[in-house]
Amino acid sequence: MTDATSGALPGPGIDKDRRTWIAITCGAGAIGGVAVAVPFVSTLAPSERARAAGAPVQVDISGIQPGEKLTVEWRGKPVWILRRTPEQLATLKTLDPLLADPNSERKQYPTPDYARNPHRSIKPEYFVGVGICSHLGCSPSDKLTPGPQPSLPDDWLGGFLCPCHGSTFDVAGRVFKNKPAPDNLEVPPHMYLSDTVLLIGEDKKA
């Protein structure tokens, strides 16, 4: 290799015009590269078919006994319908100081207005919520029996425990303080078509 071709530093033999053109072509090439990347990255987004899926789901809730929970699928997610007993509803009032967001004021998963009340539901008896933990998306397990049990405090009043990272929720899906999950369980848009038929995925606003 001779000195003329090894030039790491611009010397007197450098043609500045050519350097400018090299810079311009490199820049143009890079823009082209980015432009080509756009369609490739775009293919990763949800397809039209995935977007179209997610129609509202109708559920007949007449068969649920007090204390029972029904799980239905809406947009691929589990939606719970829990018919709470009067004892379970009574626990809600005592828990406020232990909860991260007792009045559902956080905006990450906005609670619809009709559920922003102490029982977080349209009818106090029926809780309708998406059974997906706001931490990392696991589905919490039912821990509706009060009393001491593994992974739960000894004065447990009944609710849900996320098996992944130990977040706990009360029977209104409100998250307890100092747990990994920051938000209460999401309340999906829903409305009652009749006394016993629930529509999940749509409410009167829409």
Partner 1 sequence: MAEFKEAPAGAPAAAQVTTWLQNRFPTAFDAYKVHMSEYYAPKNFNFWYFFGSLALLVLVIQIVTGIFLVMHYKPDAAKAFASVEYIMRDVPWGWLVRYMHSTGASAFFIVVYLHMWRGMIYGSYKKPRELIWIFGCAIFLCLMAEAFMGYLLPWGQMSYWGAQVIINLFAAIPFIGPDLSLLIRGDYVVGDATLNRFFAFHVIAVPLVLLGLVVAHLLALHDVGSNNPDGVEIKAKKDPKTGIPLDGVPFHPYHTVHDIVGVSVFLMIFTAIVFFMPEVGGYFLEYNNFIPADPLQTPAHIAPVWYFTPYYSMLRAVTDPMVNVFAVVVALAAVLAVLKGGLAGKWKAAVLVAALVVIAALKIFDAKFWGVVVMGVAVLIMFPLPWLDRSPVKSIRYRPGWNKWLYGIFVLNFFVLGYLGIKPPSDIGTLVSQIGTLFYFGFFLLMPWWSRIGEFKAVPDRVTFHAH
Contacts with partner 1, residue ranges (CB under 8 A): 41, 44-47, 50, 54, 71, 73, 75-78, 131, 135-141, 150-151, 162-166, 177-182
Which one, 74 or 119, has the nearer CB to partner 1?
Answer: 74
Strand 197-200 to 57-60 pairing: antiparallel
At residue 99's C-alpha, the angle toward residues 147 and 199, to 5°, is: 90
Q: E strands, the chain, where?
A: 57-60, 69-74, 77-83, 126-130, 141-143, 159-161, 168-169, 190-192, 197-200
Which one, 119 or 189, has the nearer CB to partner 1?
Answer: 189
Which one, 119 or 174, has the nearer CB to partner 1?
Answer: 174
Q: How far is the CB of 152 from partner 1 (least distance, A)?
A: 10
Which one, 79 or 115, has the nearer CB to partner 1?
Answer: 79
Q: How far is the CB of 160 from partner 1 (least distance, A)?
A: 11
Q: How far is the CB of 183 from partner 1 (least distance, A)?
A: 9
Q: How far is the CB of 47 from partner 1 (least distance, A)?
A: 7
Task: Give the number of other CB atoms < 10 A from CB of residue 140.
Answer: 25
Q: How far is the CB of 75 from partner 1 (least distance, A)?
A: 6
Which one, 25 or 58, has the nearer CB to partner 1?
Answer: 58
What does the DSSP assignment read for 112-153? Answer: PGGG-STT-SSSTTEEEEE---TTTS--PEEE-S-S--TTS-
User: CA–CA separation, 19 vs 83, rounded Å?
Assistant: 75
